[in-house]
Amino acid sequence: MFLRNALKTASAILRLRLLGTRTPLSVILSVTNRCNFDCAYCPVRSHTMPEMSTGELLGLIDEMADAGTQRVGLMGGEPMMRDDIGEVIARCKRRGMFVTMGTNGSMLTEDDNLDKVRGVDALVFSIDGPSAHDRYRHEGSYQLVLDAMKLARRNGIEVWNTAVLTDLSVGDIDILLDLSEEHGFATNFSPLMHSEVCADDRRHPSLDREGYIRAVDRLIEEKRRGRPIINSLSYLRYIREWPDLSETLHLGDTPKGAPRLPCYASRLFCYVECNGDVYPCNTLIGRYQPPNALATGFRTAFESLGERPCTACYSFGYTELNLVFGLRYDAVLNALSLARKR
Ligand SMILES: C[S@@+](CC[C@H](N)C(=O)[O-])C[C@H]1O[C@@H](n2cnc3c(N)ncnc32)[C@H](O)[C@@H]1O
């Protein structure tokens, strides 16, 4: 699968460059906005809409595969809130996709819930570290996610981690890297995205620019030392230059000093909301009138994505994809080494 997907990816990049042909190679697919957690910095709580039925979701996955999707990131809400998540994963795998699923781990128990997710290529836990995790979720949530991560590792499931860089988690970088090494997984450090929905939450984290730069410099140093950090060096350097942490997406003119990077949203990747709405990426929710895959079919919806109203952002997943699709050498090698593990 690795070689086939790598070749298909290379050919889609080439076709885009030579002929302008767009292919939805990578799709973040939200399967639900329901969640059993209420994280202080997560805006998903404001996205209320009906979610696709099992039949609609499986049909969409078939259409994605037919349109050329190689990689799907199942997202939420909490994807495990869906009883049919095992079927969803199995269908993505049957259609040859590289599948990851983000989870808070709280529903991953020794029973059939574990069997439902065994098929993924990587389970992406959210572990922010002992100082931040319970503070920005709820008491006991850190222990829950540690137990789930250990259960997954004992059962041979590939694990990745996402830790959000906040005032409290930056002090736990060592702990997170030690934990990653001890249990054989890698951690992606994601900058805190500003969200108007969450800004009023009394638990909302803050991070001053100085602390942020110190943390990113530290990550660059540890990445060079070969520690298990998912972010590429190019990505870490990119976010280090980001001028204003309260503005994570630039609409209109890019301010002086903000790093620039060609964006492949709506050309090689997209985001699908749990009701089938198709966006170039999820940072544009509320800022973009989306076509709907259930109404028009996925390929048509993807191909009808229009001009994006933005000029730059520093969201983890998308920036890393932009570096890979823009053929930034170290980001490509970094992505290949992650995918090849399977
Ligand atoms: C929205 S959650 C959904 C999946 C699952 N419920 C979980 O907890 O991992 C996906 C990831 O987004 C991260 N996230 C949520 N809000 C964020 C924000 N404002 N900035 C950066 N990352 C955020 C979470 O920490 C988590 O790692």
Residues 6+ apart with CB under 8 A from 201: 40, 41
- State how far the Cα of 103 lies from the Cα of 31, in Å rounded to an integer: 12
- Predicted pLDDT of residue 84: 97
CB distance 164 to ligand 1 below 6 Å: yes
CB distance 63 to ligand 1 below 6 Å: no
3-state secondary structure 95-141: CCCEEEEEECCCCCCCCHHHHHHCCCCEEEEECCCCCCHHHHCCCCH
- State how far the Cα of 265 lies from the Cα of 25, in Å rounded to an integer: 10
- Predicted pLDDT of residue 303: 96
- Identify how many contiguous H helices and E strands the chain contains and give both numbers: 13, 10
- Predicted pLDDT of residue 287: 87
266 in Cβ contact with 24 (< 8 Å) = no
Helix pair 233-240, 329-340: axis angle to 10 deg: 130
- State how far the Cα of 77 lies from the Cα of 102, in Å rounded to an integer: 9
CB distance 205 to ligand 1 below 6 Å: no
- Predicted pLDDT of residue 341: 63
CB distance 41 to ligand 1 below 6 Å: yes
Identify the CATH number of the domain defined by range 2-19+28-42+50-340.
3.20.20.70
Joined tokens for residue 299: 């390929």
- Predicted pLDDT of residue 253: 75
In the chain, domain spans: 2-19+28-42+50-340
- State how far the Cα of 342 lies from the Cα of 139, in Å rounded to an integer: 34
- Predicted pLDDT of residue 342: 58
Q: Which residue from 34, 37, 38, 39 has its CB within 8 A of the most atoms of ligand 1, so it is best to mutate? A: 39
- State how far the Cα of 25 lies from the Cα of 302, in Å rounded to an integer: 11
- Which residue is listed with tokens 């109404």? 295
- Predicted pLDDT of residue 46: 81
For the chain (length 342 residues), average pLDDT per consecutive 10? 85 95 97 95 87 98 97 97 97 97 94 90 97 95 97 96 95 98 97 80 80 96 97 95 83 77 95 98 91 98 91 86 95 88 60
Beta pairing, strands 249-251 & 310-313: antiparallel
Residue identifier of the C-alpha nearest atom 18 of ligand 1: 193
- Predicted pLDDT of residue 248: 81
Centre of ligand 1 to C-alpha 289, Å, is 23
Centre of ligand 1 to C-alpha 60, Å, is 24
Note the pTM of the prediction, 2 decimals.
0.95
